[in-house]
């Protein structure tokens, strides 16, 4: 019994150390083993520059899969006649010239990524003056239970406090541990998570086609 207690205590100490290191990493402090693999973030453009609608699809992504969702949204908008730029949110320095906006983020620590929230806050005047939609990509709370709906509302509450979008969607995402830092992989393994891709491309395209009339 004593050995079992000691083992549990050591596990809790080790787990706490990993979580603390991960928190430091998320705050921008580099620690041993926290280096991220090289990730290619989607940045594309489609449609004709002469189109009446020019839409910016800007996204914040930790491991790249939210960028692929943004790309699918952009492709659906282009198919319906818009001119679309899909950009990683950190790369957007000027929002002039766009007629509408679709802003999205992955979920980290129960919230949109900070760069996405900061983008909305920084550009709120322009976003309020144009049709704006939000999308969120996440792995938990994907069913239609009241608990999941409340959790999804909590994900975006800080962003809604800045701006209420005209349209919004939540999409199940993708977990690919090969694109995570060493520490994040350890946390996922301790939680018994596994690689999976739960993105519903049909639902993503259908939402993008619905949101288009609001961006006309």
Instruction: Give the model's pLDDT for residue 135.
Output: 98
Under 8 Å between Cβ of 57 and 215: no
Answer yes or no: is 22 within a domain.
Answer: no
CA neighbor of 154 nearest in space, from 114, 122, 191, 107: 107
pTM, entire model: 0.77
Tokens encoding 140: 């938990």
Instruction: Give the model's pLDDT for residue 139.
Output: 87
Residue 30 has pLDDT above 90, yes or no: no
pLDDT (tens digit, 9 = 90+) per residue, 90-134?
999 999 999 999 999 999 889 999 999 999 999 999 999 999 999
Answer yes or no: is 112 within a domain.
Answer: yes
Under 8 Å between Cβ of 165 and 58: no
Residue range 192-199: average pLDDT?
Answer: 78
pLDDT (tens digit, 9 = 90+) per residue, 153-168?
999 999 999 999 999 9
First to last CA, the chain: 69
Position 179 confidence tier, pLDDT thresholds 50, 70, 90: low
Q: Calculate helix-pair angle for 182-190, 2-26, nearest 10 degrees.
A: 140
Please state the domain count of the chain: 1
Candidate from 33-37, 86-90, 180-184 with smallest mean pLDDT: 33-37
Instruction: Give the model's pLDDT for residue 10.
Output: 42
Instruction: Give the model's pLDDT for residue 1.
Output: 43
Distances (CA, A) of 200 to 39, 58, 105, 141: 22, 20, 16, 15
Rounded to the nearest angstrom, the gap between the alpha carbon of residue 158 and the centroid of all alpha carbons in its chain is 14
d(CA 27, CA 164): 27
Answer yes or no: is 74 within a domain.
Answer: yes
Answer yes or no: is 24 within a domain.
Answer: no
d(CA 121, CA 91): 16
Position 174 confidence tier, pLDDT thresholds 50, 70, 90: confident
Under 8 Å between Cβ of 72 and 201: yes
Instruction: Give the model's pLDDT for residue 145.
Output: 96
Residue 207 has pLDDT above 60, yes or no: yes
Phi, psi of 47 (to 5 degrees): 90, 170
Residue 140 has pLDDT above 70, yes or no: yes
Instruction: Give the model's pLDDT for residue 40.
Output: 77
In CATH, what number is assigned to the domain containing residue 60?
A: 3.40.50.360
Instruction: Give the model's pLDDT for residue 74.
Output: 96
Answer yes or no: is 107 within a domain.
Answer: yes
Answer yes or no: is 2 within a domain.
Answer: no
Dihedral sign, Cα of residue 151, residue 209, residue 211, residue 132: positive
Residue 62 has pLDDT above 80, yes or no: yes
Answer yes or no: is 188 within a domain.
Answer: no
CA neighbor of 166 nearest in space, from 201, 127, 121: 127
Instruction: Give the model's pLDDT for residue 26.
Output: 34
Residue 150 has pLDDT above 80, yes or no: yes
Structural domain of 142: 39-179+195-215
Answer yes or no: is 5 within a domain.
Answer: no
d(CA 47, CA 195): 34
């Amino acid at each position: 019994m004593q050995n079992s207690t000691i083992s549990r205590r050591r596990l809790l100490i080790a787990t706490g150390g990993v979580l603390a290191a991960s928190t430091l990493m998320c705050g921008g402090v580099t620690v041993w083993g926290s280096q991220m693999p090289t990730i290619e973030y989607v940045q594309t453009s489609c449609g004709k520059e002469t189109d009446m609608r020019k839409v910016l699809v800007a996204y914040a992504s930790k491991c790249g899969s939210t960028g692929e969702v943004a790309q699918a949204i952009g492709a659906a908008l282009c198919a319906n006649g818009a001119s679309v730029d899909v950009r990683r949110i950190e790369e957007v320095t000027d929002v002039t010239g766009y007629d509408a906006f679709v802003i999205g983020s992955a979920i980290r620590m129960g919230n949109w990524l900070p760069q996405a929230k900061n983008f909305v806050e920084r550009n709120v005047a322009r976003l309020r003056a144009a049709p704006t939609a939000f999308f969120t990509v996440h792995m938990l709370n994907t069913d239609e239970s009241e608990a999941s709906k409340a959790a999804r509302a909590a994900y975006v509450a800080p962003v809604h406090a800045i701006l209420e979008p005209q349209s919004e969607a939540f999409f199940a995402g993708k977990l690919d541990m090969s694109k995570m830092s060493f520490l994040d992989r350890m946390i996922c393994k301790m939680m018994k998570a596994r690689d999976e891709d739960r993105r519903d491309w049909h639902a993503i395209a259908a939402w993008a086609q619905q949101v288009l009339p609001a961006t006309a």
